[in-house]
């Protein structure tokens, strides 16, 4: 299986309950703007891609990281392969 691009955008969208068409649009935007592969979402106010690295290291942030990892392993296992 080939590695999927922008897995965190996909997982973030799923976690937020976004429609697949919106997630697909975000992935296209990421491709077009050459977003980092660990991008989670486009911040329209700051006009930049937020990434997994921007998730704060506190109980809420750790829970968010764990949830993203769970979604990736279940919905996008190909993203987890080296």
Over residues 6-27, the pLDDT tens digits come to: 999 999 999 999 999 999 999 9
pLDDT at 5 over 60: yes
Question: What is the pTM assigned to this prediction?
Answer: 0.86
Element housing 30 (H / E): helix 20-33
Residue whose pair of structure tokens reads 């976690």 in the numeric block: 15
Domain encompassing residue 24: 7-80
Please report whether residue 35 resides in a domain: yes
With CA atoms as reference, report the closest residue to 68 among 7, 2, 3. Answer: 7
pLDDT at 1 over 60: no
User: What's the average model confidence in pLDDT over 68-73?
Assistant: 93
**pLDDT for residue 81:** 61
Q: What is the pLDDT of residues 58-69, one digit of tens each?
A: 888 899 999 999
DSSP code, position 55: S
Q: What's the structural domain count of the chain?
A: 1
Residue 20 lies in a domain: yes
Q: Report yes or no on 2 lying in a domain.
A: no
Q: What are phi and psi of 75, to 5 degrees?
A: -95, -30
């Amino acid at each position: 299986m080939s590695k999927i691009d922008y897995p965190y955008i996909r997982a973030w969208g799923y976690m937020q309950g976004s429609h697949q068409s919106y997630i697909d649009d975000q992935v296209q935007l990421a491709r077009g703007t050459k977003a980092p592969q660990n991008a989670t979402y486009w911040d329209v106010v700051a006009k930049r891609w937020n990434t997994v690295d921007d998730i704060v290291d506190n109980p809420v942030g750790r829970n968010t990281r764990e949830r993203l990892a769970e979604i990736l392993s279940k919905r996008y296992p190909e993203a987890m392969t080296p």
